Structure 1
Amino acid sequence: MKIVITGASGNLGSAALRELSADGRHEVTAVARRRPDVADAGAASVRWHAADVSHDDLTTVLTGADAVVHLAWKFQPTHRQDVTWQTNAVGTRRVLDAAAAVGVPSVVCASSVAAYSPVDHDTPVDETWLTDGASEATYCREKAYVERTLDAFEASHPDIRVVRLRPAFVFQRSAASEQRRIFGGALARPALVDRRRIPLVPVPAGLRFQAVHAGDVARGIAAAVERPVSGAFNLAGEGVLRREEIGDLMGARTVEVPRGLAVRALGAAWRLHALPVPGSLLTALLNVPLMSSDRARTELGWTPSHSGRDAVNALLEGMPARAGSTMPPLHP
C-alpha cells in the first residue's frame, strides 16, 4: 500500500513510521515541516516530503495514496492559541479536503482521550462516550473540534473509510526530551527531572489516568490502515496509574494536595510563563475517563505489548538521560 503520514517526525509519527515501513510491506511517504537530516533506523526507504499542513499544498503528496495517516499536531505554544489552531484545526480540515480532492480511499486520524467529555466515575467508557473535550484547555477544545470535523467529513464523503484513534497519554523513550520541553519548559533541566533526586511528589487528590506506549499505538495505526474497519477506537495500556503507582514509579514519597489548589498553582505558573502548561490541562487530566479498549482488541486484533506503567517508565528513564532521536522535534 502507498501510505502518507503527516506529522511523521513527532512522537506518534516516528513510531508509526517505524511500524509501517518495517519489512518494506508498505510504500511510505513521510510529511513533516522539517525533514530530518538522517532518517531513523528502519525508515531509510521512506520518502520525505517537507510541508506544513496549515498552508502548504497537500494534494500533490496525497495523489495516488491508498491511505493517509494524519498525526500532525502542535501542543505548544499554549499562549498562542491562534498558532496551534492553524495546525490542529485548520490543518486537519486541509488534510481531509486534499484527501477527498484526490480520492484517497482511507483516512486514519489521531484523536485523544482528552477529546472525551468529563466523567465523575471510574467505570471504563467505550467509544460512544461524548467527545466535547475534558476541559476548556486549548488541547481539549481542538481535539473535540477535530472530532466534529471528522463527523462532518464522514457524512459528506461516505465513500471514504475514516478511522479515528483515541489513545491514552502516549509515551516512549525517544520522545522523552521533547515531552520534557513541552510539559516542563526551560526550567525542567534533565538533572531536575531525575527521579533519583526527587524525594517527594505532590499528587492532586483523585488523580488517575491511563497511558500507552507509542509503539503500541503505532501497531493500532497499522491495523487501522490494513483492516477494513471504520469509526473510533480507544487505545490504552493495561493498568491504571494512581497515587500509589506514581510513588512507586518515582521511588519517592507522595503527598496528596487538593485538586483546586494544584490547578490554581499551575495556572498561576502558566500565566507568569514559568511553566508551559495551563491549569486547565491539569483539570482535563483529572476529568478524563478511563477507557475500555475492547473494540480495538476485537476488531483490530490489538493487544498492547507494554503496560501503562511501562510507558510512563520509558518517559521517566529517558528524560534525565536526554533521550531523543534524529527527528527534529525529538532531538535531545
Structure 2
Amino acid sequence: MRVVIVGATGNAGTALLRRLRAEPDVEAIGIARRTPEDSGPYADMEWHPVDVGHQDALDRLVQIFQGADAVVNLAWQIQPSHDARRLYQTNVLGSRTVFRAALRAGVATLVHASSVGVYSPGPKWAFVTEGWLRNGVPESSYSRHKALVERMLDEIESDHPTLRVVRLRPGLIFQRDAGTEIGRYFAGPLLPARLLRFGWIPALPAHPGLRMQAVHADDVADAYLRVLRADVHGAFNIAAGPVLDPLTLARTFRGLPVPVPGFALEGAAALSWRLRLQPVDRGWVRLALKAPLMSCDRAAGELGWRPATDALDALRELVTGLAERAGRPESPALNPVASQPGRFGGLLRGRLPGTGDPY
C-alpha cells in the first residue's frame, strides 16, 4: 500500500511515520514545507518539499499522488496567530488544494485530520457522537477553518461517491517529542518550562467549562492505520479517558484549583495576545470552554480502536517533554532549537509570540 502523508513532520505525522515503519507492506511518502533530515522516523523514505498554500502546489501534488492508494492530509498551521491570512491560506485553501490533487490523481482513499474543534458548542457532562452539529465555535479561527474544510469534504463525498473519504476528529494530541512544539505554539517564550520538571503546577484555573479530552499521538497513529486498512467511510472521534478537568489536573500536579470566570480567562488571553506576551488569542479559550466531549464508540466498534495510553499519562509525558525541551532535531516543525519563533531565543531576535512562521 502506497500512502502519501501531507504534513508528515509534525506531531501526528511523526507518530504516524513511526507506526507505519512496523508495517512491511506500507510504503510511506512524506510531504512537508521543509523536509526533515534523513534519520529517525523520517529516514529511508521519499520526501517532497511542498507548501500546500503556494500557488504551484496543485500541479506538484498531482504528480506526487500518482499511483498512491491513499492520501492522509495532516497539513495545518496553528501559528502565526497574528497572520490570519497565512493561516487561512494554509488551512482552508491548502486543504482544498490537497483534495483537488487527490481527485485529479485518481486516489482511492482520502483521509483528513479534522478535530473536536469542528463541532458546535456542546455538553461538558455528556458525550456527543459524530453526528453532532459541525458549525464550529465562531470565535475561534481554528474551529471555523476546521468546519469550512469539512464542508468541502461533504461536497466532495456528494460529487464523488466512489472516493473513500474518512475524517478523524481527535482531542488534544500529546507526546513527549512534541513538548517544545506545543510549548511554542500555545504558551510562548515566557513559559518557565524548566520548573515543570518537578511535575508540580502550583495553581490551575478552574471553570466548569474547562473539561477537555486528550489522546496520545501513538494512539492517533494507530487509528489512522486502522482507517487505511479498513473499508470504512465518514468520521471517527478519537480520544482517551479520563476527561481532563481542573480537579483532576490539580490532583495530578499537586496544584490548587483557582476559580476563574470565563470572561476573565478570555479577557486575559485577549489582552496578553494583543500585547504579544503569548501566542494564543481568546478564540482558543472560547473553544476550550465550549467544545463538547466526544463519544468514541464508533471507533471502538468499527475500527477496533482503543487507546493504549490514558489521557493523564499522555499529559504527563507532554509535561515532561516541555520541562526537558524535548523535540525531534531532524524535523523543522518539532526542532527544539532555541532560536525558533515562540522560544526565548526567538524573542531575543525580535520574533514576538504569535508572529513568524515556525513551520
Same fold judged by TM-score > 0.5?
yes
State how far apart, in whole Å, the 2-side matches of 1:147 and 1:304 are.
25
Number of aligned residue pairs: give it. Answer: 331
8 Å Cα contact 1:205/1:259 also seen in 2: no
Structure 2 residue runs without a partner (length 5+): 337-359
8 Å Cα contact 1:190/1:319 also seen in 2: yes
Q: How far does the alpha carbon of each residue in 1:241-292 deviate from its partner, in whole angstroms, 9 at most, with x for none? A: 1111111232222211111111111111111111100112111111111100
TM-score by length of 2: 0.89
Matches within 5 A, 1:1-332: 1-41=1-41, 43-55=42-54, 56=57, 57-194=60-197, 196=199, 198-325=201-328, 326-332=330-336
8 Å Cα contact 2:167/2:235 also seen in 1: yes
RMSD over aligned Cα atoms:
1.4
Give the CA deviation at 1:81. 0.9
Q: How far does the alpha carbon of each residue in 1:4-26 deviate from its partner, in whole angstroms, 9 at most, with x for none? A: 00000000111111112324220
Identity rate, percent: 44
Equivalent AA in structure 1 for residue 315 of structure 2: V
8 Å Cα contact 1:208/1:241 also seen in 2: yes
State how far apart, in whole Å, the 2-side matches of 1:199 and 1:19 are.
36
Give the CA deviation at 1:193. 4.6
TM-score by length of 1: 0.96
8 Å Cα contact 1:39/1:327 also seen in 2: no
Structure 1 residue runs without a partner (length 5+): none
State how far apart, in whole Å, the 1-side matches of 2:326 and 2:135 are.
35
| Structure 1 moving runs of 4+ over 6 Å | none
Equivalent AA in structure 1 for residue 175 of structure 2: Q
Moved more, 224-233 or 254-263: 254-263
8 Å Cα contact 1:209/1:242 also seen in 2: yes
Equivalent AA in structure 2 for residue 235 of structure 1: I
